[in-house]
Structure 1
């Protein structure tokens, strides 16, 4: 099933120059733009302390998720779908393992953190962007759909860990916000 859905999403790649250009732009610039979205929230005029705490939580979940992915990769060294002839690649080759998707982990960690902090509108925007970025990785041929599922799971795990240990209005929280 994973291979079938992956092939179907990737089958659209190369059929329309404009669609390819848009999806390639999303896959290359989507995650940095989502990070920029979080950074810009720092200067939010409404509920500034809470939003700043949420921004830090996003950053921590983002980094923790990517770190946890590196541990998973030590045990699961999955080849990319284009290496096995499942997809055709329309961007440059990747050098690391396919599972879990770093893009899905990083972007969904941001979305889940915003949701966990009660910033629902921002979380919905981030969730839609994260989904589009993640699917773009299958479209361009670098991931299986199950790699995205693994990335979403890692994002949930990293967000849950950050929520458990990084609490708002603690001495540590106030110190971090004062430094930044």
Structure 2
């Protein structure tokens, strides 16, 4: 495993710029803490809500939801591999006390890439061009907020969340390559809730071109 605590000017400057906003407004702090800590749980709730309010026969957008969930999981698995190859210490273990504001407690595990950001962008990117716009926009806006919040609360460098964003997008590309193999599972689950219709078929582009952002 490679350990690297090297500080570059970009991370140092942007980290202190964003984290420097913490501790000034109690409401803003509370909002950022909420999104920084509970992002993946929020996506789970949004997944369930979207699943049940989509039109009853809409199997394709439900499939896109399943793919988004899988993309988030794959993104986290990619992060496990990266963190075991290259270990970057958290900023609160590198910067001197008094030079940053820590709004949440966190273990001193690998900082790069950000799991919350990777999972969030895995969800979001997998919905781009393949999901109803209101769902895709919601997932994406939330991912951007999470990206900012993780730096705001003091647990990640800017490049940690940028790296997480890239991992999430890559994960979405990987997952959609296996869409045709996952669709039968989506169909089976949908039928359990009496969603979809009989005789649904899927091809390589059936869920790709239905909706565009």
Please, what TM-score do these two structures have when normalized by structure 1?
Answer: 0.91
1:178/1:158 CA distance change after superposition, 3 Å: same
Partners of 1:179 and 1:127 in 2: how far apart? 25
Rg larger in structure: 2
* Structure 2 residue 95 is the aligned partner of structure 1 residue 82: no
1:61/1:16 CA distance change after superposition, 3 Å: same
2:170 to 141, 144, 157: 157
Question: For structure 1, which runs of at least 5 residues remain unmatched after alignment?
Answer: none
* Structure 2 residue 28 is the aligned partner of structure 1 residue 15: no
Deviation at 1:98, TM superposition (A): 0.4
Partners of 1:47 and 1:179 in 2: how far apart? 13
Deviation at 1:116, TM superposition (A): 4.0
Partners of 2:186 and 2:133 in 1: how far apart? 24
Deviation at 1:47, TM superposition (A): 5.5
Partners of 1:96 and 1:177 in 2: how far apart? 39
Question: For structure 2, which runs of at least 5 residues remain unmatched after alignment?
Answer: 1-9, 191-213
**Count of residues in correspondence between the two structures:** 177
Deviation at 1:109, TM superposition (A): 0.8
User: What corresponds to 1:52 in structure 2?
Assistant: 62
1:68/1:116 CA distance change after superposition, 3 Å: farther
8 Å contact kept, 2:39–2:116: no
Q: More helix per residue: 1 or 2?
A: 1
Deviation at 1:46, TM superposition (A): 6.2
Partners of 1:128 and 1:179 in 2: how far apart? 28
Partners of 1:3 and 1:47 in 2: how far apart? 51
List structure 1 segments (4+ residues) > 4 angstroms apart after TM superposition: none
The alignment yields a C-alpha RMSD, in angstroms, of: 1.7
1:3-34 CA deviation, whole Å, 9 max, x = no partner? 10111000011122222112112212233112
8 Å contact kept, 2:122–2:169: yes
Alignment of 1:53-132 (within 5 A): 53-85=63-95, 87-132=100-145
8 Å contact kept, 1:81–1:144: yes
* Structure 2 residue 40 is the aligned partner of structure 1 residue 31: yes
